[in-house]
Amino acid sequence: MRDVIVAANWKMHTTPADAGELATTIAARTREAGVTRVICPPFVCLAAVRDALADDDPDVAVGAQNVHHELVGAYTGEISAPMLAGLASWVIVGHSERRRDAAETDELIGRKVGRAIDAGLRPILCVGEQLPQREAGEQEAVVDDQIAGALAVLDPARLVPAGLVVAYEPVWAIGTGRNASGVDAAAMAVAVRASLARAGIVGGAEAIPVLYGGSVTSANIAEFLTEPSIDGALVGGASLKPDEMAGIVARAGITARARGLAA
C-alpha cells in the first residue's frame, strides 16, 4: 500500500528566528500513526527546523523547496543537492511558482530530480495545468508533457527506488481558495500514473504516491483523501497554521489506518 504523505510548503514565509518553533508546534499537533509528515521551510530556515525537530519529533522529515540542476559552479544565489546533505531529506521540484518565476522547463526540472536522487533526497515533482488549459480540456495532455519532459532526462529505473512522489497541483487552485474537486483530482492522479507508465518508469507507476495540492484545508482534505488514487497533500497557505495542519493530518490518519499503515 502506498504511503500517506502530508507535505507543508512554507514558500517564502518564516525566518530562522521563528521557523523552529512553528515546526515543533505543528509536529506536536500532527502525531498520527502511519502518516509521513514533511515540512519544507525556506533554505535559510532548514537548519533551525532540523534542529528543533531533532529534539522534539524526529519523525517529521525536513524538505527543501528547490534544488539546482548542477552540482557546483558559477550559479550565484543557487543551492545544489550536495549542499542540502544533513539539512533536508526531501525536496520539492518544479513547483508552478518556479516554473512561472524562474522559467523552469521540464528538462531542467528532470535534471533537478536527478540531482536530488543522486544526493539521496526524496523528490516531490510538481505538475499541473493552467486555467485556460483546464477550460480547453487539455489538463491530461499538459501533465503528460510535463512528466514525459522531466523523465526524458532521467533513468526510469531509479525513480521507484528513490521514492519519487508526484504532486498534482492545478495552477488555478494554488493560493486561490478555489480547490479542484476530489473527483477531478483523482482522475488526474490516475492520469499521472498513466503518464509515468508511458514514460517507461520501472517498478510500476502504481508504486508512486500522488499528492493533491491547491488550496487544501482541513475543511476540504477529506474530499481528496477519500479517493484511493490520491495519497496525500502538498499544502501551502494552510501549512503555516497549526490548527489547519492538525485537521489535515488527522484526516490523513484515517486514510493511513484504512490502508493498514498505522502499526
- Using the 8-state DSSP alphabet, how is residue 200 labeled? T
Q: What are the residues whose beta carbons fall under 8 Å from the beta carbon of 254, sequence distance 6 or more?
A: 225
Among 19, 109, 174, 230, binds ligand PGA (CB under 6 A): 174
> Using CB under 6 A as the criterion, what x/- string covers residues 124-163 for binding ligand PGA?
----------------------------------------
* Minimum distance from residue 260 beta carbon to ligand PGA (Å): 28
Which residue of this chain has its Cβ atom nearest to ligand PGA in the complex?
A: 236
Q: Residue 15 CB, nearest distance to ligand PGA (Å)?
A: 19
Our CB check for ligand PGA shows the closer of 114 and 237 to be 237
Q: DSSP assignment of 115-177, as one string?
A: HHHHTT-EEEEEE---HHHHHTT-HHHHHHHHHHHHHTTS-TTSTTTTT-EEEE--GGGTTTS
Among 16, 82, 156, 175, binds ligand PGA (CB under 6 A): 175
| Nearest partner of 99 among 135, 123, 127, judged by Cα | 127
Look-up of cell digits 499503515: 261
CB of 214 to ligand PGA, least distance (A): 5
Amino acid at 210: V
Grid cell, residue 194, equals 498513466
Contact 127, 195 (CB under 8 A): no
DSSP assigned state of 9 = E
Catalytic annotation present for 169: yes
Nearer to ligand PGA, 10 or 147 (CB): 10
Q: In angstroms, what is the minimal distance from the CB of 211 to ligand PGA?
A: 9
Q: For the chain, how many residues are written? A: 263
**Do 253 and 26 meet the contact criterion of CB atoms below 8 Å apart?**
no
What DSSP element (H or E) covers 192?
A: helix 182-198
Largest CA distance in the chain: 50
C-alpha cell at 132: 485556460
Nearest to ligand PGA of 179, 229 (CB atom): 179
User: Catalytic residue among 32, 95, 104, 244, which?
Assistant: 95
8 or 35, CB closer to ligand PGA? 8
Instruction: Give the residue with the Cβ less far from ligand PGA, 63 or 73.
Output: 63
Among 144, 169, 227, 231, binds ligand PGA (CB under 6 A): 169
Interaction mask 201-240, ligand PGA, x per CB under 6 A: ------------xxxx-----------------xxxxx--
Binding site for ligand PGA (CB under 6 A): 9, 169, 174-175, 213-216, 234-238
What residues are labeled active site?
Answer: 95, 169
